[in-house]
C-alpha cells in the first residue's frame, strides 16, 4: 500500500479550516465594510450596479440550502431523539411540562421585549418587491385542520413546520412504542430503522456543516452589498436588536433563578457560582452538546443535585430544551417585520410562538440551529427569508449568548426535578 493511502496517516486539513468560524465571520465583516465603502457606501456608481447585485448571490445560495435542509433535519432530529433517548414515565411527564413551560416563557419574554423596545424601528429597509408578509386572520379551526398534512412528503416540500412536527411526533411515538415492544419480546428488528435514522441524521448534519462553512462568504457578500447600496443606516437596527436580545436573555435568566428559588432546594447564588464552568464552556464552545459533560458534572459536584436529576436535565432535557434559540427566533421574526415597517399581528405572533416551540424540538445537536430553523419560523408568517443573511452578521455573538441560556435552562430543569429537599436530607430518611 502506498504511504499516502495509509488509513493511519492523519489527513491534512486546508489552512482555512484551522481558523474558527467566528474569526472567519469577523474577517468577512471587515473586508465587506471596506468593499462597501469603496463601492460608494450608500451612493454607488451606476457602473457598479451589476457587480453589487452579484455580491448577494452567495447569501441567496446559502439561504436556499438552509431552507432545503431545515425540514428533513428537524424530522430526523425528532425521530432520532425519540429512538435513542431513555425517559422514565412519571419523571418524563414532569420533564416535558417543565421544558414546554420554560420554552413558552422564553418566547413570550422575547416578543415582549421586541414589542416594547421595537429595535426594528431604529432603521428602515425596503421590502423585497416579490415578497410580502401574508396577512392572516384568526382561524383556530383552520389552523387545526392545516396541522394534518394531505400527503406524507408535503410538509417537507412546503416547509410547513407544524405539519412537519405532527408527522415527526406521530412516527416518533409509534417507532418508540415498537422499539419498546420488541425489546420486551427480546427482538431486535427495530435496530435497522434506528440505524437508518441515525445515518440519515448524520448525513444531513455533514451536509449542513458544508453549508455553514460558506457562511463567511455569504456574510461578506450581503454586508458589502448592503453597505454599498444603503450605507450604514440598516445596521443601526442591528445594534438595537443585539441590545434587545441580550436584555431578553437576561430576563429569561432571572426567570430561571426565580424558578430555582421557589421550586427547588438549591440557592440561586450557589446555582450561579456552581454553574460558572458550564456557562463559560457554553459561551466559548458555542454548543450546548459540547458543554453537556461539564453541565452534568457541575450539577452533581458543585451544585449537589442527585445524579438522576442531573441526568434528566443535562442529558435528556438538553435534546429538547432550546429556550434561548426559541427566544431568538421569535425576536428575529418580529424584528425583521419592524424593519420592513410591516408589524406582525397578534395572531401572527401566536403562530410565531407555536412555530418556534416546534422548531426548537431536537435542535440541540444541530450546528447553528437558530439559523437553520429560523427559515421555518419566517416562512410560517410569510416573512422574507432574504433578511436572515443580515442577522448572520451578529448571530455569531448572539448564538453564544443564547447557548448559555440553553445550558442554564438545562440546569434549572435539573434543580426543579431534584425537588425542595437536598440529597443529604432525603438519604437520612
Average pLDDT along the chain: 79
Taking the C-alpha atoms of residue 429 and residue 426, their distance in angstroms, rounded to an integer, is 5
The angle, 0 to 180 degrees and rounded to 10, between the axes of the packed helices 161-184 and 190-213 is: 140
Q: Are 359 and 320 in contact (CB under 8 A)?
A: no
Q: What is the mean pLDDT of residues 38-64?
A: 82
Give residue 136's pLDDT band: very low, low, confident or very high (50, 70, 90): very low
Give residue 363's pLDDT band: very low, low, confident or very high (50, 70, 90): low
Instruction: Report the Cα 70 to chain-centroid distance in Å.
Output: 11
Q: Report pLDDT digits (tens) over 107-123.
A: 899 999 999 998 888 76
Phi then psi for residue 321, to 5 deg, are -90, 105
Phi then psi for residue 347, to 5 deg, are -65, -45
Instruction: Please tell me the predicted confidence (pLDDT) of residue 129.
Output: 46
User: Of the candidates 339, 354, 93, which has an alpha carbon nearest to the alpha carbon of residue 240?
Assistant: 339
Instruction: Please tell me the predicted confidence (pLDDT) of residue 133.
Output: 45
Q: What residues have CB less than 8 Å from 353, skipping those under 6 apart? A: 104, 107, 108, 111, 330
Is 368 strand, coil or helix? coil
Give residue 424's pLDDT band: very low, low, confident or very high (50, 70, 90): low
Q: Report pLDDT digits (tens) over 344-356.
A: 888 888 888 877 7
In this structure, what C-alpha cell is assigned to residue 255?
426567570
Identify the burial level of 340 via C-beta atoms within 10 angstroms of its C-beta, where 0-12 means exposed, 13-18 middle and 19 or more buried: buried
Q: Is residue 398 part of a domain?
A: yes
State the CATH number of the domain containing residue 275: 1.10.3860
Half-sphere exposure of 305 (CA within 13 A, CB side): 32
Q: Is residue 424 part of a domain?
A: no
Domain that holds residue 379: 21-36+47-126+136-418
Identify the burial level of 163 via C-beta atoms within 10 angstroms of its C-beta, where 0-12 means exposed, 13-18 middle and 19 or more buried: buried
Q: Report pLDDT digits (tens) over 174-210.
A: 988 898 888 888 888 888 888 998 898 888 888 878 8
Instruction: Please tell me the predicted confidence (pLDDT) of residue 405.
Output: 92
Number of structural domains in the chain:
1
Q: What is the mean pLDDT of residues 314-327?
A: 75
Taking the C-alpha atoms of residue 187 and residue 131, their distance in angstroms, rounded to an integer, is 53
User: Which residue in the block uniquely carries the three cell numbers 452579484?
Assistant: 54
Q: Is residue 3 part of a domain?
A: no
The angle, 0 to 180 degrees and rounded to 10, between the axes of the packed helices 57-84 and 190-213 is: 160
- Mean pLDDT is highest, among 145-154, 160-169, 178-187, 308-317, for 178-187
Please state which of the ranges 2-11, 140-149, 182-191, 368-377 shows the lowest mean pLDDT: 2-11
Q: Is residue 346 part of a domain?
A: yes
In this structure, what C-alpha cell is assigned to residue 333?
421574526
Phi-psi region of 118 (alpha: psi -120 to 50; beta: other; left: phi over 0): left
Query: Exposure pattern of 172-210 as b/e (b: 16+ CB <10 Å)?
Result: beebbeebeeeeeeeeeebeeebeebeebbeebbeebee
- Quote the percentage of the chain above a pLDDT of 70: 79
User: Which residue in the block uniquely carries the three cell numbers 436530607?
Assistant: 425
User: Of the candidates 338, 322, 337, 334, which has an alpha carbon nearest to the alpha carbon of residue 372?
Assistant: 322
In this structure, what C-alpha cell is assigned to residue 26?
469577523
Q: Is residue 14 part of a domain?
A: no
Q: Is residue 221 part of a domain?
A: yes
> Rg (Cα) of the chain, in Å, rounded?
23
338 membership: H or E segment, kind and range:
helix 323-339
Please state which of the ranges 1-10, 293-302, 314-323, 410-419 shows the lowest mean pLDDT: 1-10
Q: What is the mean pLDDT of residues 50-70?
A: 81
In this structure, what C-alpha cell is assigned to residue 105?
416563557
Q: pTM (2 decimals)? A: 0.73
Q: Is residue 387 part of a domain?
A: yes
Give residue 369's pLDDT band: very low, low, confident or very high (50, 70, 90): low
CB atoms within 10 A of CB 131: 14
Q: Are 230 and 52 in contact (CB under 8 A)?
A: no
Give residue 135's pLDDT band: very low, low, confident or very high (50, 70, 90): very low
Instruction: Please tell me the predicted confidence (pLDDT) of residue 248.
Output: 95
Q: Is residue 268 part of a domain?
A: yes
Amino acid at each position: 500500500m502506498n504511504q499516502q493511502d495509509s488509513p493511519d496517516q492523519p489527513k491534512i486539513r486546508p489552512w482555512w479550516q484551522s481558523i474558527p468560524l467566528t474569526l472567519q465571520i469577523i474577517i468577512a465583516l471587515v473586508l465587506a465594510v471596506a468593499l462597501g465603502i469603496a463601492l460608494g457606501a450608500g451612493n454607488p456608481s451606476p457602473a457598479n450596479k451589476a457587480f453589487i447585485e452579484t455580491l448577494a448571490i452567495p447569501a441567496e445560495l446559502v439561504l436556499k440550502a438552509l431552507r432545503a435542509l431545515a425540514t428533513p433535519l428537524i424530522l430526523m432530529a425528532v425521530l432520532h431523539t425519540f429512538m435513542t433517548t431513555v425517559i422514565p414515565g412519571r419523571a418524563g411527564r414532569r420533564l416535558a411540562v417543565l421544558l414546554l413551560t420554560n420554552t413558552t416563557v422564553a418566547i413570550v419574554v422575547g416578543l415582549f421585549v421586541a414589542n416594547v423596545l421595537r429595535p426594528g424601528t431604529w432603521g428602515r429597509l425596503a421590502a423585497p418587491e416579490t415578497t410580502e408578509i401574508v396577512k392572516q386572520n384568526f382561524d383556530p379551526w383552520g389552523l387545526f385542520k392545516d396541522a394534518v398534512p394531505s400527503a406524507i412528503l408535503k410538509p417537507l416540500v412546503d416547509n410547513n413546520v407544524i405539519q412537519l412536527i405532527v408527522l415527526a411526533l406521530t412516527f416518533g411515538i409509534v417507532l418508540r412504542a415498537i422499539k419498546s415492544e420488541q425489546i420486551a419480546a427480546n427482538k431486535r428488528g427495530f435496530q435497522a430503522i434506528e440505524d437508518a435514522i441515525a445515518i440519515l441524521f448524520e448525513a444531513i448534519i455533514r451536509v449542513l456543516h458544508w453549508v455553514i462553512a460558506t457562511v463567511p462568504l455569504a456574510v461578506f457578500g450581503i454586508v458589502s452589498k448592503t453597505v454599498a447600496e444603503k450605507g450604514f443606516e440598516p445596521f443601526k437596527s442591528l445594534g438595537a436588536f443585539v441590545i434587545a436580545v441580550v436584555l431578553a436573555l437576561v430576563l429569561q435568566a432571572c426567570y430561571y433563578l426565580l424558578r430555582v428559588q421557589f421550586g427547588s432546594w438549591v440557592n440561586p447564588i450557589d446555582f450561579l457560582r456552581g454553574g460558572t464552568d458550564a456557562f463559560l464552556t457554553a459561551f466559548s464552545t458555542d454548543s450546548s452538546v459540547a458543554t453537556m459533560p461539564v453541565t452534568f458534572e457541575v450539577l452533581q459536584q458543585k451544585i449537589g443535585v442527585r445524579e438522576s436529576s442531573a441526568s434528566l436535565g443535562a442529558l435528556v432535557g438538553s435534546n429538547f430544551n432550546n429556550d434561548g434559540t426559541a427566544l431568538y427566533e421569535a425576536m428575529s421574526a418580529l424584528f425583521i417585520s419592524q424593519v420592513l415597517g410591516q408589524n406582525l399581528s397578534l395572531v401572527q405572533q401566536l403562530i410565531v410562538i407555536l412555530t418556534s416551540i416546534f422548531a426548537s424540538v431536537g435542535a440541540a445537536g444541530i450546528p447553528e440551529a437558530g439559523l437553520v430553523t429560523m427559515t421555518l419560523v419566517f416562512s410560517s408568517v410569510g416573512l422574507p427569508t432574504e433578511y436572515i443573511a443580515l442577522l448572520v452578521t451578529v448571530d455569531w455573538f448572539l448564538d453564544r449568548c443564547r447557548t448559555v441560556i440553553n445550558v442554564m435552562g438545562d440546569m434549572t430543569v435539573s434543580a426543579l426535578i431534584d425537588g425542595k429537599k437536598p440529597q443529604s436530607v432525603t438519604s437520612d430518611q
